[in-house]
Amino acid sequence: MADKLPKRTFTDLFNDQLPVLHIKFDVKSTEESPITVIIQNKLYKQSNAKGSAYVNSICAHEKLKEFADFYQAYDGFELATPVEPKSAVKVPLLKQLAASTIKSYTEQYLPGGKFGWTIQHNAQSTIKSLYHGTDKWIVFAQIDDGPACLTTFLEGENAGNIFILMPEPRFNVLKPIAKGFNAFLDRIAKDPAAFLKLIRASVRINKDDGFRYGYVPIEYFDNVPQ
């Protein structure tokens, strides 16, 4: 029996390799061949003392310790930025914010903010009761160009849980996608393509007809498959 491949950790995604996504316009199509997209992943070392101090100041709850610990070592990441083909939009499918930008970016989702409509006019009315309640929360990651994002609560029964926030979701976004920050990182590492599909991230490709189309990640490779 062949030896099992070692379990991938989150930081393994950022080794010096040539990662690839296979994508499809229609994941259910058996006739469509997947497109190979060479991508780039970046993990940023923490070098902003004020940013890391801010994260520490808002993470008083014990369930935020993993989140705070991550920001002591790192200052965010960019996952799956398309490099090739050249027709692909060069925007990371998931970007964790630098610590110093969390506060200002979160404020854009509050009433009156640039992305406040994401909550205010959401078809799932219970989203407003969650985010306009008394428990404090932050946005810490951006999906594609936004406004879709990832949030976590700083207090209350949802403290430390990771949620998807997006306009007009087609699934229940009131259920956390991870109960803790390390669980969130582990879920990404286990199957990056499945995670990107879960959060509705897509590789956008400019076509000859002048339109831009979104393609769904279906498989992730640490290196270009031979």
Does residue 136 surpass a pLDDT of 80? yes
Comparing C-alpha atoms, which of 139, 57, 134 is closest to residue 105?
139
Q: What per-residue string of b and e applies to 188-205 under the rule 16 or more CB within 10 Å gives b?
A: bbeebbebbbebbbbbbb
| H and E: helices and strands count for the chain | 7, 10
Average pLDDT of the segment spanning 160-175:
90
Q: Tell how far CA 24 is from the center of its chain.
A: 19
* pTM for this prediction: 0.93
If you average pLDDT over every residue of the chain, what do you get? 92
Decide: helix, strand or coil at residue 25: coil
The confidence score (pLDDT) of residue 1 equals: 39
| Number of residues written out for the chain | 226
The confidence score (pLDDT) of residue 127 equals: 86
The confidence score (pLDDT) of residue 93 equals: 98
Average pLDDT of the segment spanning 124-135:
84
The confidence score (pLDDT) of residue 207 equals: 87
The confidence score (pLDDT) of residue 2 equals: 43
- For residue 79, what are the β-bridge partners? 94
Other CB atoms closer than 10 Å to residue 178's CB: what's the count? 19
* Residues 169/193, Cβ–Cβ less than 8 Å: no
Does residue 3 surpass a pLDDT of 50? no
* Residues 92/203, Cβ–Cβ less than 8 Å: no
